[in-house]
């Protein structure tokens, strides 16, 4: 195995001290620009790699940030990561991205590994619910800042950035009512996460506030995929009194429902209106285009990064708590627009 290049090798090649090499590599202002450029060029030529962990232990700063999401390949989470990187990269931070695949044991291991790697903070959209938060509490209580985004847990002295999911559910349902819909169903992701409960409560309250009855049989639990949406729509249309609209907590599930409704020659929006949640890219390109609640993922990522920076750049040595709630924005398109 080829021996790794050290600062002593670079010092010997340039006939300077190892301390000078170290200062040059770490951009110390005491080192002249000429020497610094010469050291960097020699380090590159000799394939020198800094030991970031050792550097972190020495300086107390790793400039590494852990970002933990359920899935990297979902547009929502990839857009959040983009927002985080846009905010942190210019500040010299390096983002370490991990995905949990909704596996809670894997999530715990990822968090422990990130803490062992001396990350300066962890930005996370969790798979845990508030009922299960004691499983993760011993990690969150460490001095490393935790910033929750979208899927949050409620801990003292821990910050979060989330969407006003309740208002999103309320606005989507109220819009369907304004279009003349009287029997509105809801696709609910029943995994215990707070954000889906908030969307369901917004749906319920909008019905009641507008004189419509809340019917439990119109609430269908499903997973966030097309096949589940198709099966849910089939179940709804077999009810003695089928609905005339669906507000779905997920665009992906709604897509399957739309395909099923179209197979029955039900016209959207003339006979049946639908509104989704997330404003996935495909929603604007389908025929009809799908109304959906936008979650502002890039803005959410930027805000989560800003909350982290505010904490680490604070002169306080204690954790701060800042809970940011972004407004939900209903994007109205053809799938729910009877009046246009």
Inter-residue contact 159 to 311 (CB < 8 Å) = yes
What is the per-residue pLDDT for 7? 82
Give yes or no: residues 289 and 304 share one domain: no
Task: Tell me the pLDDT band of 27, cut-offs 50, 70 and 90.
Answer: confident
Task: Tell me the pLDDT band of 316, cut-offs 50, 70 and 90.
Answer: low
What is the per-residue pLDDT for 118? 83
109 domain-assigned: yes
12 domain-assigned: yes
Compute how many other C-beta atoms are within 10 angstroms of the C-beta atom of residue 60: 8
Least confident interval from 26-40, 229-243, 307-321? 307-321
2 domain-assigned: no
* Number of compact structural domains in the chain: 3
Least confident interval from 35-39, 70-74, 170-174? 35-39
Mean pLDDT (the chain) is 90
What is the per-residue pLDDT for 176? 98
Give yes or no: residues 158 and 188 share one domain: no
Give yes or no: residues 18 and 98 share one domain: no
Give yes or no: residues 140 and 159 share one domain: yes
14 domain-assigned: yes
- What tens digit of pLDDT does each residue of 195-249 get? 999 999 999 999 999 999 999 999 999 877 788 999 999 999 999 999 999 999 9
Task: Tell me the pLDDT band of 50, cut-offs 50, 70 and 90.
Answer: low
Give yes or no: residues 229 and 179 share one domain: yes
Task: Tell me the pLDDT band of 43, cut-offs 50, 70 and 90.
Answer: confident
Find the mean pLDDT for residues 113-119: 88
84 domain-assigned: yes
Q: Give the residue among 106, 130, 249, 108 at the shortest CA–CA distance from 192.
A: 130
Give yes or no: residues 42 and 153 share one domain: no
Give yes or no: residues 147 and 182 share one domain: no
55 domain-assigned: no
1 domain-assigned: no
Least confident interval from 4-8, 239-243, 294-298, 322-326? 4-8
pLDDT exceeds 90 at position 34: no
Q: Which one has a higher pLDDT value, 236 or 190?
A: 236
CATH of residue 289: 3.40.50.2300
- CA–chain centroid gap for 163, Å, is 11
Q: Which domain holds residue 28?
A: 7-50
Torsion of CA 93, 96, 102, 105, to 10 degrees: -110
Give yes or no: residues 70 and 182 share one domain: no
What is the per-residue pLDDT for 61? 66
Task: Tell me the pLDDT band of 48, cut-offs 50, 70 and 90.
Answer: confident
CA dist., res. 83 & res. 135, Å (int)? 29
Give yes or no: residues 133 and 103 share one domain: yes
Give yes or no: residues 268 and 318 share one domain: no
| Pairing assessment for the beta strands 329-331 and 291-294 based on DSSP bridges | antiparallel
pLDDT exceeds 70 at position 10: yes
Per-residue DSSP letter, 285: T
DSSP 73-128: TSHHHHHHHHHHHHHHGGGT-EEEEEE-TT-HHHHHHHHHHHHHTT-SEEEE--S-
């Amino acid at each position: 195995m080829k021996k790794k290049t050290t600062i002593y090798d670079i010092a010997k090649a340039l006939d300077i001290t190892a301390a000078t090499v170290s200062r040059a590599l770490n951009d110390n202002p005491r080192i002249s620009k000429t020497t610094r450029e010469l050291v960097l060029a020699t380090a590159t030529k000799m394939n020198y790699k800094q030991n970031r962990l050792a550097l972190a232990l020495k300086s107390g700063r790793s400039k590494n940030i852990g970002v933990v999401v359920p899935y990297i390949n979902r547009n929502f989470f990839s857009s959040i990561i983009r927002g985080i990187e846009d905010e942190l990269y210019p500040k010299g931070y390096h983002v370490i991205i991990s995905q949990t695949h909704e596996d809670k044991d894997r999530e715990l291991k990822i968090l422990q590994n990130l803490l062992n790697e001396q990350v300066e903070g962890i930005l996370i959209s969790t798979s845990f619910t508030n009922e299960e938060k004691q499983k993760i509490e011993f990690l969150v209580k460490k001095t490393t800042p935790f910033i929750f985004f979208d899927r949050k847990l409620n801990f003292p002295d821990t910050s979060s950035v989330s969407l006003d999911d309740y208002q999103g559910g309320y606005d989507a349902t109220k819009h369907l009512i304004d279009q003349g819909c009287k029997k509105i169903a809801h696709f609910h992701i029943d995994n215990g996460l707070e954000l889906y409960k908030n969307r369901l409560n917004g749906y319920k309250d909008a019905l009641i506030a507008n004189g419509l009855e809340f019917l439990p049989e119109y609430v269908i639990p499903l997973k966030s995929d097309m096949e589940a949406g198709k099966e849910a729509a089939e179940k709804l249309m077999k009810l003695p009194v089928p609905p005339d609209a669906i507000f779905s907590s997920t665009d992906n599930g709604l897509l399957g429902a739309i395909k099923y409704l179209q197979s029955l020659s039900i016209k959207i929006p003339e006979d049946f209106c639908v509104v989704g949640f997330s404003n996935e890219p495909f929603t604007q390109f389908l025929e009809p285009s799908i109304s959906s609640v936008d979650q502002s993922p890039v803005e959410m990522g930027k805000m989560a990064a800003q909350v982290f920076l505010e904490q680490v750049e604070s002169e306080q040595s204690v954790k701060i708590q800042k809970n940011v709630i972004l407004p939900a924005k209903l994007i109205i398109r053809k799938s729910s627009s009877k009046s246009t």
